[in-house]
Structure formats: C-alpha cells, structure tokens
Amino acid sequence: MSIIVGLGNVGQEYDGTRHNIGFEIVDMIAKTLSVSFSAGGGPFVVAEARYKGRNIVLVKPTNYMNRSGTAVQKALNKYHTAKKNCLVIYDDLNLAVGVTRMKERGSDGGHNGIADINEKIGSEYPRLRVGIGNNYAKGRQVDYVLSPFADDEIEEVELSIKKAHDAALAFVNVGIERAMNFFN
C-alpha cells in the first residue's frame, strides 16, 4: 500500500494559497481516481483507491501545517505502512514556481511542516517538493506562503500541479527511484 500525503492548512481562508499546493495535488489525484475524502480516524481526512492494481491512500492533515507530523505518524500506523511507501507533497520556497523535485529522503529545508514530520517519524521517507518561489521582502515569508499565486504564475503553477500529480502516481506504480528518473 502507498500513502500520499499532501500538506496544507484547513479552512477556506487558505484555499488557493502557496502553502496549500500539497492539498491541491492530492485533490487532483482524488479526482483522477474518482474518490472523495472522509474522516480518517485521526487528525486527517483520507480517500482510499486503487491505482494500476495497487492500494493507495490519499491523506490531508486537518491540523495546521506546523503539526503535520502527528497526522503522518497516525496515518502510517493506521494503515500499517512503512515510511518508504509514504510520499509527502509540499510547497518549497527554495524552488522556483513551476519546478518540482522528488527525493528519497532529506532535511526539512526550513519547512516547518516537514520539520515536524521529521521529528515524529525521522527523515527517511520520500517527498515531492513543489516550487512556490521566494519573491518576498525580508520578514514577510509567512504573508508570502499564505498568499495566492500571482496571475503571471498561474500557468506554470497549473503545469507543476499536473506534473506532481503524475509523479505521485508514478511513485505508486513504479517506486521512488524510477519515478525520480522520470520526473526530476
């Protein structure tokens, strides 16, 4: 079984913000697989599906971004899934808008949601970083990540969401190494 976690913040005020791109990607996967989210028995919602003969669980934490680790840990335990079979998708300030990067493991890179996950389960899990750029004034990072994309970024963002969608499904189908070869 594979688990795909999209990071974001719950609440309408966060819809469409840079920080919620992980939610947008798992929502697109859910739409592709014709499944919908429901309560997950922890601080998350889930959508369960099959893809190319494999079981897949999509997860969206319902606690705030900075507390994502608890949701990931509880989802792994609930579904008896190893970390290596859990792909975490999140926004990354260190990548330009439109850029995606898949990795087998790594540091938090300054991302508080990833730092919390690393604290709860360690850093040995696959992740898919989706670039949101870093065009903000000093001290304005929070405002930036909680803002929508600029009109001139929308086309690239839509392409990166589609690419991340495809990369996540490739992860389920062929594993992290082959997916990295196709999409990095």
CA distance 29 to 23: 10
CA distance 100 to 156: 11
What DSSP line would sit under 27-94, residue for residue? HHHHHHTT---EEEEESEEEEEEEETTEEEEEEEESS-GGGHHHHHHHHHHHTT--GGGEEEEEEETT
* H or E element that contains 6: strand 2-6
Token match 């739409």: residue? 31
CA distance 48 to 123: 25
CA distance 87 to 125: 7
Q: Is 19 a catalytic residue?
A: yes
Token match 């005020």: residue? 13
113 phi, psi to nearest 5 deg: -65, -45
Q: Choose the catalytic residue: 19, 80, 111, 165.
A: 19
Catalytic residues: 19
